[in-house]
Amino acid sequence: MNVLSDNFAMFREGFLGTVELTALSALLALVLGTLIAAFRVSPVPALRVFGTAWVTLLRNTPLVLLFLVATLGLPALGLKGWDSFWLAVMALGCYTSAFVCEAIRSGINTVPVGQAEAARSIGMTFSQTLGQIVLPQATRTAIPPIGSLMIALAKNTAIASGFNVTELGSVQKTLNADAGYDIYVIFAWIAVCYIIITFAISGLFRLLENRLAVAR
Partner 1 sequence: MSASVLYDVPGPKARVRNRIYGALSTVALLGLLAFIVYKLDDTGQFQAELWDDYEYSNTHERILDGLLTTLKTFAIAAVLSVALGAVLAAARLSDHRPVRWLATAVVEFFRAMPLLIMIFLLFAAVFTSDPMWALVIGLTLYNGSVQAEIFRSGINAVSKGQGEAAYALGLRKTQVMTSVLIPQAVRSMLPSIISQLVVTLKDTSLGFIILYEELLFVGRAFAQQTEPVNGVYAFIPMVIVFGSIYILLCLALSSLATWVERRTKRSRKGAPPAMPVNNAALASEAGQIG
Q: Give counts: helices (H), strands (E), the chain.
A: 11, 0
Angle formed at CA 145 by CA 17 and CA 157, multiple of 5 degrees: 20
Q: Shortest distance, CB of residue 191 to partner 1, whole angstroms?
A: 6
Identify the CA nearest to 151 among candidates 194, 188, 186: 194
Helix 135-156 to helix 183-212 angle (10° resolution) is 170
**Cβ distance to partner 1 smaller for residue 5 or 121:** 121
| Cα distance between residue 169 and residue 194, in whole Å | 10
Q: Which residues contact 39 (CB under 8 A, 6 or more apart)?
A: 47, 48, 50, 51, 54
**Cβ distance to partner 1 smaller for residue 68 or 208:** 68
**Cβ distance to partner 1 smaller for residue 6 or 61:** 61
| Cα distance between residue 118 and residue 133, in whole Å | 10
Residue numbers of the site for partner 1 (CB under 8 A)? 41, 43-47, 50, 56-57, 59-65, 68-69, 72-73, 76-78, 96, 99, 102-103, 106-113, 115-116, 120, 126, 129-130, 134, 141-142, 144-145, 148-149, 152-153, 155-159, 161-162, 168-169, 172-173, 176, 183-184, 187, 190-191, 194-195, 198
Q: Shortest distance, CB of residue 105 to partner 1, whole angstroms?
A: 8
**Cβ distance to partner 1 smaller for residue 56 or 132:** 56
Q: Shortest distance, CB of residue 96 to partner 1, whole angstroms?
A: 7
Q: Residue 182's CB: how many other CB atoms inside 10 A?
A: 10
Q: Shortest distance, CB of residue 99 to partner 1, whole angstroms?
A: 5
**Cβ distance to partner 1 smaller for residue 85 or 189:** 189
Q: Shortest distance, CB of residue 209 to partner 1, whole angstroms?
A: 10
Identify the CA nearest to 29 among candidates 50, 8, 58: 58
Q: Shortest distance, CB of residue 134 to partner 1, whole angstroms?
A: 6
**Cβ distance to partner 1 smaller for residue 89 or 96:** 96
Separation of first and last alpha carbons in the chain: 52
